[in-house]
């Protein structure tokens, strides 16, 4: 798959489109609640998230500038660590990380769709609608790479509209409720460890940026444009998040937001700005925004089994490596990803139905586990600096150290939120990594044995 389908703009909009527009709409009140309504501590949580994504992106951009081979992060593990570890991470990303994000966000879209059309949806109805939209977007991206990329660009720009509208109205035209509300003292709030629980939903709000590396080989002038996208997009994301968060908090007030869900908060803010009809219009933009996130993730995940197959890192590699001659798309790879997402949809339904993960979901823990694994690449960048392959002290030491710090803080926050469940889930993720590692080593051993027998 050597055709260059995407430019720098699509690479940037893919990162921004995946990250912005899902978590910010249904996780921001969770962050505010965890900080006991303290505005400044909530901003600190957003900045901590920025440390993880910005410096993580800056660190990985050093590896992205050294290769344009297919596979994204899997390729980084392969080229800069070893193939067994690359296979293990590839299995984790293909069968846990990306599918859980797709499932949770597509389900969230159904919640807002129900609100848009005044539908009193039970969990089963939400699951069916979300799965339907997910299926439609899988078909769209599988049939045409250009249609998928175009959809991503349009969705990203549309999703700015509700964020900017609420941000501008809340900051510049609403009464200054942020400064008149009875906020807990910052030092008192931060001394309480309860705010650490905000780090898990914050991690979800920022995550997904890593998936753009899976299409790096399809980006024009990838060695230049992929690092640019990994630097520009996180800065845009942080700015948008703070703008929206301060806007909606200033417009509604801390007490109001704490008393309602994120969905109701968005709706109330839209009604205050535009009235009933305008609120519905804003809600349409929110739905498009969230579906844009799903589309961006799908645009990436349909290529993951293919990328592993090109490296002989997955079962039935000869099947998943095939491309459709008409559109140069790996249809079998896309089908594998789709079936994986359906399985996770069932698991997500069960966690909702029986409240298995209160105050959390199946994607948050996978995200935290992924940050743990990114630190291996951050350390590798420091090793390259020590070897002299990276000359900049800032790029070779400061960026990766800050990236590791951000990842560790997110891990601590997740474990604080629900230690037993999160720890067991993370262990499960690591077992999948181990399975991918062992599978590749077994194949490698068999290949060597077969070559010796031929000789």
List all residues 6 or more positions away from 115 whose beta carbon is below 8 Å from its beta carbon: 263, 267, 283
In angstroms, rounded to a whole number, what is the distance separating the alpha carbons of residues 323 and 5? Answer: 15
What CA–CA distances, in Å, run from 209 to 7, 36, 204?
17, 29, 11
Whether 313 is covered by a domain: the verdict is: yes
Whether 3 is covered by a domain: the verdict is: no
In angstroms, rounded to a whole number, what is the distance separating the alpha carbons of residues 44 and 24? Answer: 15
What pLDDT was estimated at residue 2? 47
In angstroms, rounded to a whole number, what is the distance separating the alpha carbons of residues 51 and 401? Answer: 10
**Contact assessment for residue 19 and residue 300, using Cβ atoms and an 8 Å cutoff:** no
Neighbours of 398 (CB within 10 A): 14
Whether 209 is covered by a domain: the verdict is: yes
Closest to 238 in 3D by CA, of 267, 212, 209: 209
Q: Tell me the pLDDT of the chain averaged across its residues.
A: 84
Q: What total of structural domains would you count in the chain?
A: 1
Whether 442 is covered by a domain: the verdict is: yes
Whether 176 is covered by a domain: the verdict is: yes
CA dihedral over 358, 362, 363, 366, signed as positive or negative: positive
Task: State if pTM tops 0.85.
Answer: no
Whether 1 is covered by a domain: the verdict is: no
What pLDDT was estimated at residue 41? 87
67: left (phi over 0), alpha (psi -120 to 50) or beta: beta
Tens of pLDDT, residue by residue, the chain (455 residues): 445 667 888 778 777 766 776 677 767 787 888 888 888 888 888 888 777 877 887 888 888 778 877 667 888 999 999 999 999 999 999 999 999 999 999 999 999 899 889 899 999 999 999 999 999 999 988 886 666 556 666 766 777 788 888 899 988 888 776 655 555 566 666 777 778 878 877 787 777 667 666 666 677 887 778 778 877 887 888 888 889 999 998 999 888 888 888 878 888 988 988 888 878 888 888 888 788 778 878 988 998 899 899 889 998 899 999 988 777 789 999 999 999 999 999 999 999 999 888 767 888 888 888 988 999 999 999 999 999 999 999 999 999 999 998 888 888 888 887 788 888 888 999 999 999 999 999 988 888 777 767 66
In angstroms, rounded to a whole number, what is the distance separating the alpha carbons of residues 157 and 177? Answer: 29
Cα angle for residues 342, 344, 350 (degrees, 5° grid)? 110
Strand partners, 219: 6
CATH number at residue 347: 1.20.1740.10
Structural domain that includes position 388: 8-454
Block residue for tokens 């809600």: 283
What pLDDT was estimated at residue 346? 97
What pLDDT was estimated at residue 131? 96
What pLDDT was estimated at residue 231? 77
DSSP 356: S
What pLDDT was estimated at residue 344? 97
7: left (phi over 0), alpha (psi -120 to 50) or beta: beta
Question: Phi, psi at residue 388, to the nearest 5°?
Answer: 90, 0
What pLDDT was estimated at residue 199? 82
Whether 2 is covered by a domain: the verdict is: no
> What are 389-412's pLDDT values in tens digits?
999 999 999 999 999 988 888 888
Strand partners, 6: 219
Whether 237 is covered by a domain: the verdict is: yes
């Amino acid at each position: 798959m050597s055709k260059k389908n995407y430019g720098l703009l699509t690479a940037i909009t893919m990162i921004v489109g995946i990250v912005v527009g899902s978590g910010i709409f249904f996780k921001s009140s969770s962050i505010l609640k965890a900080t006991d309504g303290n505005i400044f501590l909530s901003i600190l949580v957003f900045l901590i998230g920025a440390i993880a994504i910005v410096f993580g992106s800056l660190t990985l951009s050093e590896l992205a500038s050294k290769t344009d081979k297919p596979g994204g992060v899997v390729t980084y593990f392969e080229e800069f660590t070893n193939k067994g570890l690359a296979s293990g991470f590839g299995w984790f990303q293909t069968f846990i990380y990306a599918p859980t994000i797709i499932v949770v966000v597509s389900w969230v879209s159904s919640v807002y769709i129900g609100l848009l059309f005044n539908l009193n949806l039970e969990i089963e109805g939400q699951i069916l609608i979300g799965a339907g939209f997910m299926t439609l977007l899988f078909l769209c991206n599988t049939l045409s790479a250009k249609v998928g990329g175009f959809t991503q660009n349009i969705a990203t720009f549309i999703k700015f509209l509700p964020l900017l509208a609420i941000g501008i109205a809340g900051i510049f035209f609403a009464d200054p409720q942020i400064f008149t509300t009875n906020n807990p003292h910052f030092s008192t709030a931060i001394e309480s460890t309860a705010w650490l629980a905000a780090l898990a939903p914050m991690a979800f709000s920022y995550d997904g940026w890593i998936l753009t590396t899976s299409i790096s080989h399809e980006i024009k002038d990838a060695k230049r444009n992929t690092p640019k996208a990994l630097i520009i997009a996180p800065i845009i994301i942080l700015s948008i998040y703070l703008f929206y968060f301060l806007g909606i908090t200033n417009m509604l007030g801390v007490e109001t937001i704490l008393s309602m869900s994120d969905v109701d908060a968005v709706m109330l803010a839209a009604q205050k700005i535009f009235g009933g009809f305008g609120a519905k219009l804003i809600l349409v933009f929110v739905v498009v925004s969230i579906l844009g996130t799903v589309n961006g993730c799908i645009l990436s995940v349909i290529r993951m089994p293919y990328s592993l197959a090109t490296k002989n890192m997955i079962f039935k590699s000869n099947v998943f490596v095939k491309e459709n001659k008409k559109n140069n798309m790996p249809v079998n790879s896309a089908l594998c990803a789709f079936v994986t997402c359906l399985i996770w949809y069932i698991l997500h339904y069960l966690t909702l139905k029986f409240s298995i993960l209160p105050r959390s979901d199946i994607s948050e823990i996978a995200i935290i586990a992924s940050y743990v694994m990114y630190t291996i690449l951050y350390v590798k960048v420091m090793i390259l600096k020590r070897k002299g392959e990276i000359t900049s002290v800032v790029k070779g030491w400061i960026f990766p150290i800050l990236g590791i710090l951000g990842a560790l803080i997110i891990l601590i926050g997740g474990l604080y939120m629900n230690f037993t469940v999160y720890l067991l889930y993370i262990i499960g993720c690591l077992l999948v990594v181990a399975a991918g590692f062992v599978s590749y080593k077994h194949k490698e051993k068999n290949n060597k044995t077969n070559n010796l027998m031929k000789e």
